[in-house]
Amino acid sequence: MNASTIAQTTPPAKLPAHLSAISPLRSMSALLLDWLLIACCLAAAIWLPHPLTYLVAAILIARTQLALAVLMHESAHGLLLPNRKWNDGIGQWLTAAPLMLSLFAYRSGHLQHHRAPMAKDDPVATVFGIADYPVSRRELAWRLFKDVSSIGYFLAVRDFATGKHRHLKPVQTVAEPSRGRMVLASILISNAALAGLLAAAGHGWLYLGLWIVPALTFLQLFARIRAITEHAGYPAHEDQLQNARTIVSASWQTFFCGPHGIHYHMEHHYHVRAPFYHLHTIHKQMLADGMLPHQNLYQGYFKVVSDVTRPSAHYDLN
């Protein structure tokens, strides 16, 4: 089964204008607050040099790198800013590039994911390795260890470099060579600026220690938990409400693994044109209308992990 053979059976009703309206103020405020939190973590590491400060800063920075990735996701949907040029420019330079990513490559794969979540050609299921759940708890522990130790990141780079995911690569268009140069420039300039600012403050090592290392470790862990929660354990389904989950309320868990409302994931798949700051209201409306499958609503991430794993004795390791 592939993306071309699956479609949502019941098209969503048109959103009221106020729930599809893009607010540049709210989007840019969220982006600014993310970067302010990163700046505060770096400042704390400079002013209070201590292993515990470094650890807390690394965890919070990794969490906020995930928040930037979620805002890149907003930009991929054209929901960050109403003007497409500014939406893509801000999305690339201030959310994707600092993470050494291309908004445009992400957009292509992510929109394919929305056509048919968990289908064989779903890039999200492939890249995050969530198509084979349930797995043993021992296997999940091994996967999480690979993430937090950065082993998983380098294995993923190897897989892309050796062409393992070649079938997921979009066909290049005429405009993409020049766009590719812009993406590369944005990555180099944004990271050079961050490294340069830290070096000018006399703490250049923090670029490696509190930007690169968190991105290779804790960010990978938070991103995997997010991916597992959203779709793992579900097959491809004509009704996308049946193979996605929602964490029903914000908490410290969603702060780390579901920032910017991405934990309202059924709602996002049903109303892909809704900006993240409207998803809570949409959730309440869909819940009141009885539209959300009760079994796909969760209070937190631990229950999801429990539901998609089994005692190790019941499964062989891959």
What are the tens digits of pLDDT across the range 49-84?
A: 999 999 999 999 999 999 999 999 999 999 999 999
Nearby residues of 117 by Cβ (< 8 Å), 6 or more positions away: 124, 125, 231, 234, 236, 237, 240, 243, 244, 269
Name, in order, each residue with C-beta under 8 angstroms of 234's C-beta and a sequence gap of 6 or more: 117, 118, 242, 243, 244
Sign, CA dihedral 67-70-75-76, equals positive
pLDDT computed for residue 169 by the predictor: 57
| DSSP state at residue 292 | S
Which amino acid, one-letter code, is at 174? V
How much of the chain is in helix, strand and coil states, percent to nearest 5? 65, 5, 30
Do 213 and 272 form a contact (C-beta atoms < 8 A)? no
CA distances from 292 to 3, 67, 268 (A): 23, 25, 12
Helix (H) or strand (E) holding 298: strand 297-298
Angle between helices 151-161 and 218-231 (to 10 degrees): 70
Instruction: Give Cα separations from 112 to 38, 119, 146, 233, 271 (angstroms).
Output: 31, 10, 27, 19, 16
The dihedral over CA atoms of 255, 260, 261, 266, expressed in degrees to the nearest 10, equals -110
Nearest residue to 306 via CA among 135, 131, 127: 135
Quote the pLDDT of residue 4.
38
DSSP β-bridge partners for residue 218: none
**Three-class SS state of 240:** helix
> What is the pLDDT at residue 163?
73
Q: Residues 99-155: pLDDT tens digits?
A: 999 999 999 999 999 999 999 889 999 889 999 999 999 999 999 999 999 999 999
Q: Which residues contact 4 (CB under 8 A, 6 or more apart)?
A: 115
- Please report the pLDDT score of residue 170 as a whole number: 54
pTM: 0.91
CA atoms 135, 136, 141, 142: torsion sign:
negative
Closest CA to 79 of 244, 272, 267: 272
User: What are the residue ranges in the chain where pLDDT is below 50?
Assistant: 1-9, 171-174, 314-318
pLDDT number for residue 271: 95
Round to whole Å and give the CA distance between 130 and 228. Answer: 6
Structure confidence at residue 59 (pLDDT): 98
Structure tokens that stand for 1 in this block: 């089964």
Token pair of 273 as six digits:
């044109």
**Look-up: residue for tokens 């938990």?**
225
Question: Is 251 in contact with 270 (CB distance < 8 Å)?
Answer: no
What DSSP assignment string belongs to 252-286?
HHHHHHSTTTTTBHHHHHH-TTS-GGGHHHHHHHH
DSSP state of 173: P
